[in-house]
Amino acid sequence: MTKKQYSVPSTIKVGDIEFNVILKKMKDYGDMDIDKRTIHIRQGLTKEESFDTLMHEVTHAALAISGL
């Protein structure tokens, strides 16, 4: 079985809110800004690290939207 290719999407919906996903140079793996509706992912990560980081930040976004 072949592995699927993964690339970071430019946007992702969390609940009914669309977040822009931006690759940028940064120290952390990623961050999320609920007010600006953006998720930043560090440039240069492996595909697996990028995916894991995006899912981590999406979890933060979901918790922020839910009010927890």
Rounded mean pLDDT of 7-34? 96
pTM of the complete model beyond 0.95: no
Q: For residue 66, what are the CA distances in angstroms to 3, 21, 27, 63?
A: 34, 20, 28, 5
Check residue 54 and give its pLDDT: 97
Mean pLDDT of 23-46: 97
The whole-number pLDDT of residue 9 equals 94
- Helix and strand numbers (H, E) in the chain are 1, 4
Evaluate if residue 6 carries a pLDDT over 80. Answer: no
pLDDT at residue 3, rounded to an integer = 66
Measured between alpha carbons, how far is 54 from 31 in angstroms, rounded to an integer?
9
Q: How high is the mean pLDDT of the chain? A: 93
- How big is the chain by its Cα radius of gyration, in Å? 12
